[in-house]
Structure 1
Amino acid sequence: MFSMRLIELFRTSGFRLAVAFLLVFGAAASALFLFVDWQMQSFLDQRSDEWLTREMQSLQSLPANEIVSRLSARSRDLTTTERPFSLFDQSGKLVAGVPLAFPERPIFDTPFDFADRSAAKKDHYRGLLHRRADGSSILIAQSLHEQREFRERLENATLFASLTTAILGLAGAIAVGFGAVRRLDAMSDAAAQIMKGDLKQRLPTGRAGGDIDRLAKVVNEMLDEIERLMQEVKGVCDNIAHDMRTPLTRLLGSLERARRRATNIDEYHGYIDEALDEIRGIHKTFGALLRISEVEDGLRRSGFIDIDLKAVASDAVEFFEPAADEAGIILSYQSSTDEPAIISGDPNLIFEAIANLIDNAIKFTPKGGLALVKVEGDGHHVSVTVEDTGIGIRSEDADAVLRRFYRAEKSRHTPGNGLGLSLVSAIARLHGMHLEITSPKIGTRIRLVTAPAASIAGQRAGKSYSLRM
């Protein structure tokens, strides 16, 4: 179990990212340390070389006997072991000064590093060796003990800091990784509950708003939509069962009466006609449901073309004028612009949406009432509005009337199946339109508004302007 948790830890992106950052940081820190060490060593060598050169020049200007006396005097000073001066004869034997062994591989007149072989423990020096005209050699040196000790301490401190950083970084990576594993476990548990049917369950989100939180938020929004659709499907099934029960009961009654009560062919035909009317109503209801489903699938979007919203609205008004006259309703059309209102869409669906709104306006407006279809545009939006002086829609029912089969209390006794506004809503969503339902003091106003990025098309100065959604 623990090994599996470790494998999960190593696979988390947070742990891998933290380890990668730690490796990059370690490589950069190592490169920086090497550069600083190289610069420091170069600086110390330069200072030593300058001192060695300066001292050698001062000795070279002295007579031979004075050089011997000065080196002998320096050899009696204990502090000279850090900066020894020595004089050797032609054979490399010490003549005067601090007792040092003549370098095994001498380099003349150029600073070099060497080890003193005369001491029990080799001491390391940086020295400058000069051969005199008489064959003797002068050696001036500076001990490297302090430099090497300082460098060793610096390396130890750097190593300690690197190990501490690595341990803390690895601990941080493990903490981040285990945090990610815990979050993934919580999400997996929530997903398991969702798969078991608990659609109210949601993925946990944190306060940081990181990548996983953003992903969880998107998934939760998707789950909200799925839950809404499932509730809608359940509601549709319930409503179908409820709304189909009455026409099916009437259909069954008509057929029963035709079988039992019909005494002649005319009565038989009458009962059959009643049954056919009920079947046509049921067929119309299912046809509307299939139509809504077809629109919501979005397959019709591939056939969008540029259409003039004014022309479509005008055709719809002209189509319903006879029905309005028969119902005693004054149906009129207005437009706020003389220019075409071009939108991208399916002309048949746009016509069907406007037709449903006009049909509702005629159906729910008393005789002598008014129904107005109006197309407007302000350069950014194009809208079509259908308003009437009918029974109106209560504000609390404004969202509910868009659900399938929903019928407000005022309209329950009016023929219909409660699918008209559902179809209008589906067409509006397909075209990127916003559906607004308001009820002034008298009647209802329903408005379809294009997306904010839209603009009115027109012919201005020989140019064509079109609205896109």
Structure 2
Amino acid sequence: MFSAHLREIPRTISFRTALMFLALFGCSFLALFGYIYWQTTGYLKSEVDASLYHQIDIRSRQAPALRQQEIRQHTEQDTESRTPHALFSADDQLIAGAIQTLPDFKRYDRPYQVVWHKQNEHSRPIRFMVHQLENGQKLLVAQDIYDIHEFDELLINALISGGALLVVVGLLGAITLGYSARRRLDALSRSIERIIEGDLSKRLPTRGNRDDIDRTASVVNGMLDELERLMSEVKGVCDDIAHDLRTPLTRLIAGLERAQRRSLSKDEYATAIDSAIEEAMGLLQTFRALLRISEIESSARRSNFAMVDLNRIAADATELFEPLAEERGMTLELVPSKKPANLSGDPQLLFDAACNLLDNAIKFSPDGGRVQVIVVADATHSGIRVKDNGPGIPQAEREAVFRRLYRSESSRHMAGNGLGLSMVSAVARLHDMTLQVQDAQPGCQIDLVGKALSV
């Protein structure tokens, strides 16, 4: 199992990225080291060449007899032949000096490098220069560069050992990163497999360090939250359809069966047909509302977004429901905002949402009650608040009331299909608004609030 994981490490992005950076760092290391090597060796050789030029200048100024004497003395004193000098005749015969044979060279007064095979001693590399004197003799000055060669080898060995260490450490780091990434991806894969098997409550693990994988996992977890909500809502809708639509369908079928079995007069048949049409229209209205919510949730209406004045929306909705409130002896009060209450949205959908909130508030408030429509606005948020003095919504049902076709047992005797607040919730999600239910003591308070749009 462990070996299988090791074989999969080279396939991980972390391992390949680490290798890429290792290659880039290795090239930078070689370039930097090569530059240092070139500059250092060049500097040392230039120092040797400057010394050779200086020695030639001194020797060339001396008289011939003094020059020969100085070269012989220098040879005797330079027992290690660190800076050997030699004087040759015009036909390359040795006159004085430590170097017995004139090395090959192409031009005078130019530095060259050769291996000097000193008699009865090890060969040593030297850097030399030949100068032709006025009398035709050839002056050779040289300097042992064995130390420079040793330094070159030291630099090259350091380059090789440092490069090898860099490769080893880089590969170990790449393997460690790849293995860590593989373990993390395995954890993500196991969570995804659990989700595929049907456990929608499972979420991708995160570390909280906000790296790339964490951000991706957070986005996926948000998608799973929404998917779980939708699946739960679909299940709830199916249950509610089976529960709530069974009664009108049963009444519709029962009425048609009675009309079929009995001998009814023409008027009775017309009444039965009217009753069946009324039941069918109610069912059709329910399905239209469901389709309307689906259309809103599909975000197909975002193309109609514009700047919306919530004061105007609240005023229009209040004006529309004033006759119904007066009919029941209720007080319908509009409290506009003194500050601009603008946001980006679909005016018609926001108007429909406000109307649904008002319809619910009036429907569940007692005759002679009071309903308030308050427009709230500050520097960052704008919204509509609807308050009533009805029975309110219990704490346990404040999330469920936004499900499609959900109706509490206390409200099943009232007209409606349980889709009003579901439509408001869909509009809120489309506009990135928050929808909250609170206790108005007594009654219910529902806030529909979104991000304000500055003018």
How far off is 1:245 after superposition?
Answer: 2.4
Q: Are positions 1:154 and 2:155 aligned together?
A: yes
Separation of aligned partners in 2, 1:19 and 1:36: 25
- Paired position in structure 2 for 1:301: 302
SS at match of 1:445: strand
Supply the AA of the counterpart residue of 2:417. Answer: N
Tell me the residue number matched to 2:219: 218
Matched ranges for 1:6-405 at <5 A: 9-77=9-77, 79-105=79-105, 107-116=107-116, 119=119, 122-206=123-207, 208-259=209-260, 273-337=274-338, 343-378=343-378, 380-405=380-405
Distance 1:211 1:412 in 2: 50
The 3-state SS of whatever aligns with 1:108 is: coil
> Could you tell me which amino acid in structure 2 is paired with residue 245 of structure 1?
R
Amino acid at match of 1:440: A
| Whole-angstrom CA distance in 2 between matches of 1:132 and 1:114 | 22
The amino acid of 2:32's aligned partner reads L
8 Å CA contact retained: 2:78, 2:84: no
Is the 2:105–2:112 Cα contact (8 Å) retained in structure 1?
no
Contact 2:370–2:388, Cα closer than 8 Å, also in 1: yes
Kindly report the root-mean-square deviation, in angstroms, between the aligned alpha carbons of the 2 structures: 3.1
Identity across the alignment (%):
44
Structure 2 CA distance for aligned equivalents of residues 106 and 118 of structure 1: 22
Contact 1:434 1:450 in 2 (8 A): yes
Q: Distance in 2 between matches of 1:198 and 1:325?
A: 52
Q: Distance in 2 between matches of 1:266 and 1:403?
A: 41
SS at match of 2:139: strand
1:194 and 1:33 map into 2 onto residues whose CA distance is: 53
Q: Tell me, what secondary structure is at the counterpart of 2:79?
A: helix
Structure 1 residues 223 and 26: alpha-carbon distance in aligned structure 2, compared to 1, 3 A threshold: same
> Please, which moves more after superposition, 161-170 or 231-240?
161-170
Quick one: structure 1 residues 330 and 232, their matched pair in 2 at CA, closer, same or farther if it must change by over 3 Å? same
Q: TM-score, normalised by structure 1?
A: 0.85
Please identify, of 368-377 and 203-212, the stretch whose mean Cα deviation from structure 2 is larger: 203-212
What do the CA deviations read for 1:234-253 (whole angstroms, capped 9, x no partner)? 11111111112233333344
Q: Confirm or deny: 8 A CA contact 1:80 1:98 kept in the other structure.
A: no
Distance 2:440 2:5 in 1: 64
Deviates more, 1:232-241 or 1:256-265: 256-265
Cα deviation, residue 183, structure 1:
3.5
Residue type at the aligned position of 1:442: P
Cα 1:52–1:441 change in 2 (3 A) is: same
Shift of 1:170: 2.4
Mapped partners of 1:188, 1:287: distance in 2: 41
Out of 241-250 and 156-165, give the one that drifted further.
241-250
**Structure 1 counterpart of 2:353, one-letter code:** A
Q: 1:419 to 1:309 in 2, by over 3 A?
A: same
Give the stretch that moved more between structures: 234-243 or 382-391.
382-391
Q: Is the Cα–Cα contact under 8 Å of residues 101 and 116 in structure 1 kept in the other structure? A: no
- TM-score, normalization: structure 2? 0.88
**Residues 6 and 77 from structure 1, CA distance in 2 versus in 1: closer, same or farther, beyond 3 angstroms?**
same
User: 1:95-124 CA deviation, whole Å, 9 max, x = no partner?
Assistant: 223143212226433433233356586432
Q: Structure 2: any 5+ residue segments left out of the alignment?
A: none
Match of 1:446 in 2: 446
How many pairs are equivalent?
A: 454
Q: Which 5+ residue runs of structure 1 have no aligned equivalent?
A: 456-464
Q: Is the 8 A contact 1:101 1:117 kept in 2?
A: no
Moved more, 1-10 or 232-241: 1-10
Query: CA contact under 8 A between 2:86 and 2:140: conserved in structure 1?
Result: yes
Work out whether residues 391 and 410 of structure 1, in 8 Å CA contact, stay in contact via their aligned partners in 2: no
Deviation at 1:161, TM superposition (A): 1.0
